[in-house]
Amino acid sequence: MSYVDEVLAQVIKQNPNEPEFHQAVEEVLNSLRPAIEANEEQYRRDALLERLVNPERQIRFRVPWVDDNGQVHVNSGYRVQYNSAIGPYKGGIRLHPSVNFGIIKFLGFEQIFKNALTGLPIGGGKGGSDFDPKGKSDREIMAFCQSFMSELFKYIGADTDVPAGDIGTGAREIGYMFGMYKKLRGVFEGVLTGKGLTYGGSLVRTEATGYGLLYITQEMLKCHGESLKDKIVVVSGAGNVATYDIEKAQQLGAKVVTCSDSTGWVYDPDGIDLKALKDIKEVKRARLSIYKDYRPNAEYHEGRGVWSIKCDIALPCATQNELLLDDAKQLVANGVMAVCEGANMPTTLEATEYLQANGVYFLPGKAANAGGVATSALEMSQNSERLHWSFEEVDAKLQGIMTDLYHNIDNAAKKYGYEGNYVVGANLAGFEKVAAAMQAQGIV
């Protein structure tokens, strides 16, 4: 059995009932075969892959909190400190009822490679809780965030582990968590990113993942003699990533015609009204079903369906495994040119393979959505310097990072004979850097 197959079998055996984690490891290790097979003897002796797939540390804790009626609830909190070979652990906090160790491990594992691809000194980590922020009052959100941080603070710090936002964790939640960390530790330090601008946050961080997705998409299209101008784009999601990728896509001349949340989706043939979307999601924190109140010509449908709309470019920006094989077939039948992942692992393995086999340019999330964590790292730099950079300065750095990232994964794919396969390119480029740092630091 090859070394990769041996480690894959071990991962499945040692981590039962964690299908998303198996899926992420399988996708990465399979695409690393050319690099592993070239050094198989040495990597096997050094157990490099076993060290890569096993987190350095994983923490689970109790999060008790009191609701507005005086009822106590208990959620589980998680932090997986996956790999610190190239810098402090860095990765978001997901608050969603589906969260468990398998989900956090899949996200943390992906984060190792994504963070390496940014070219910045950040290791991989991820955290979260099965707490559901939907329908909670501000006070309940604060109670949860304070309880969550009153345990997590023991394990994090500006030079050890720097969490950020993810699904369910936005500026409000980061604010409550930061306040509690400061109170408990008695230090004001850049322990979280995605902070408000009044207390150490970075300009562009809110927009960064969505903007970055469009910057890398633009660069890829440019290298294929195409552009975003007048392209029809379908987007899933209506959260942080989706909102700002719609904003940047519109600025770059594309027409975005869909968005979605977990209850339904909107098709607006005249182009999504961004002001309405922000009002619904950022101000009212409401469901997309009320979008029609703003735009009577738009359609609202319950359930899922954005991939059925004819488009040039598809940007999945909601959650994992939301673009399935049948969706990929429909997109291809409708003539899609590119699929670029804003979310983490939104496309299943079969759907990815189908898109690639049918000549669709496919940018995987670990490259395409790296703008968020890259800008988080820029926030860390500003906090360390105790300086605040302008919007233009951060935005220019983000553009530079995403452009370099595209060429980095493109070159890695070419180097190993997989030209145009950005999944392989991203995994190989990220792996080469992390593996070299791990080898240099000995068996730790």
**Cα-only R_g, the chain:** 21
Q: In the stretch 287-306, what mask flags binding to ligand NDP with x, by CB under 6 A?
A: --------------------
CB of 369 to ligand NDP, least distance (A): 4
Q: Which residues contact 342 (CB under 8 A, 6 or more apart)?
A: 209, 210, 213, 235, 237, 241, 242, 245, 315, 316, 317, 365, 368, 369
- Contact range with ligand NDP by CB under 6 A, out of 50-58, 80-88, 340-348, 406-414: 340-348
The answer to whether residue 258 forms part of the interface with ligand NDP (CB under 6 A) is no
Q: Which of 429, 331, 333 is nearest to 421 (CA)?
A: 429
What is the β-pairing status of strands 313-316 and 299-302? Answer: unpaired
- Contact range with ligand NDP by CB under 6 A, out of 72-80, 116-124, 258-266, 435-443: 258-266
Q: Which of 261, 268, 395, 410 binds ligand NDP (CB under 6 A)?
A: 261
The H-or-E segment that residue 127 falls in is strand 123-129
Q: How far is it, in rounded angstroms, from Cα 25 to Cα 382?
A: 34
| Residues that contact ligand NDP, how many (by CB under 6 A) | 22
Specify whether the CB–CB gap between 299 and 265 falls below 8 A: no
Q: How close are the terminal C-alpha atoms of the chain, in Å?
A: 26
Q: Which of residues 160-219 bind ligand NDP (CB under 6 A)?
A: 165-168, 209
Torsion angles phi and psi, residue 323, rounded to 5: -120, 105
Please identify which residue in the block is written with the tokens 């070979």: 85
Q: How far is it, in rounded angstroms, from Cα 133 to Cα 173?
A: 10
Q: Which of residues 350-379 bind ligand NDP (CB under 6 A)?
A: 369, 372
CB of 150 to ligand NDP, least distance (A): 23
CB of 168 to ligand NDP, least distance (A): 5
Q: In the stretch 84-123, what mask flags binding to ligand NDP with x, by CB under 6 A?
A: ----------------------------------------
CB of 322 to ligand NDP, least distance (A): 6
Nearer to ligand NDP, 127 or 342 (CB): 342
β-partners of residue 94 are 128
Q: Which of 31, 150, 240, 347 binds ligand NDP (CB under 6 A)?
A: 240
* 222's tokens: 């440019």
CB of 33 to ligand NDP, least distance (A): 26
Residues that bind ligand NDP in the complex, under the rule CB under 6 A: 165-168, 209, 237-242, 261-263, 317-319, 342-344, 369, 372
